[in-house]
Structure 1
Amino acid sequence: MPVFPFRLLPSFALFAGCLTHPVSGQPFERMELVLAGTVNVNHSPLHTFWQARPGVELSVSTPFYRGRAEAGGILHPYTARTAEVPSFSGLLLFAGWGLRVPIAPRLAVEGGARLGNYRMTFDDDTFPGLRTEHELTVALRSTLIGRLHPNLSLYVAGNYMKSYTFIRLKLLHVSAGLRYTFRTPDWLKTFLQ
């Protein structure tokens, strides 16, 4: 029996619970910037040839009708374990949607999904004609948000992503960082609406 669906149960449960919770805030009323470090924590066939290094995530999100819309990028560097393959960097550019549920005065959980393009850039021309590769990627995310200050929160998330390479990449990342919240400038709110 495949293990894959069981890894996603926490995200599915969180996501289903969020659907029943009322959403607060008007679309585009506030924006949140996230800057986080990220690390790959699972082992897959990819890790036989490459070692994951800590990466960085930068994203922005805003209330969007029944949920939250987000967009961003995550950089994942990988170092070659053998001389037969080059090191590479993976850049995931994504758009996503999620739902947030407050669970305490300064604590909230969020579940969501992301769709994006995973671009792998190899360090040399070991594979002739293949210096970069682009693949469709889907991901599920579970996040814990702890507010430290009215505009500043601690952000901890788990992201399970699947890239549609010839041999599928299935990667689990844990991210932690800061989330800064601010009122959307009127000119930007007008543009987004």
Structure 2
Amino acid sequence: MKRVAILISGGGSNMIRLVESMTGDHPARPVLIASNDPFAAGLAKAEAMGVPTAAVDHRGFRGDRAAFEAALLGPLLDARPDILCLAGFMRILTPGFVERFQGQMLNIHPSLLPKYPGLHTHARALEAGDAEAGCTVHLVTPVLDDGPVLGQARVPVLAGDTPDALAARVLTAEHRLYPAVLRRFAAGQAGRIDL
């Protein structure tokens, strides 16, 4: 059984879907939900679901990402995860941290990578006149939003879409895609998923 730690920064909607999926014959189980914000709403949700939590407030480490990551590593390593899932974790991780979890860290990004790495993905897709948008689960590498793609889900861009309306539809697709990719990844299955 694979041990999964999930990093969040906010409400944790993707984290909830991942935790809910890890039951029955799923090859993994959640062992820790950690956040860079002790007030992240997702922490209380994780506790209500019976998953251990930890928080390391990044604001106490201004300008020193390495020190923040060293503090975050404490509870993470105590949980002994086989897989680390970033689910709305809004901190850029240093190459040293990423390399420690090389080949074990997944991230979900709200665009069809390699299009629109970084922020404001929905506004950028609308400004470009794209006919479709979507989300990507990928392995994390030291280059932001650049690792090998494990799965993508596509959603149509509709006439009159706003960034918020498009984001809501993409988030629904994220909630389907991330659990499907995690199950496959935890089972050691190769190949990518396209929804």
TM-score bracket for this pair, using the shorter chain length:
under 0.3
Which TM-score applies when normalising by structure 2? 0.21
Higher helix fraction: Structure 1 or Structure 2?
2
Q: More strand per residue: 1 or 2?
A: 1
**Which protein is bigger by CA-based radius of gyration?**
1
TM-score (norm 1): 0.21
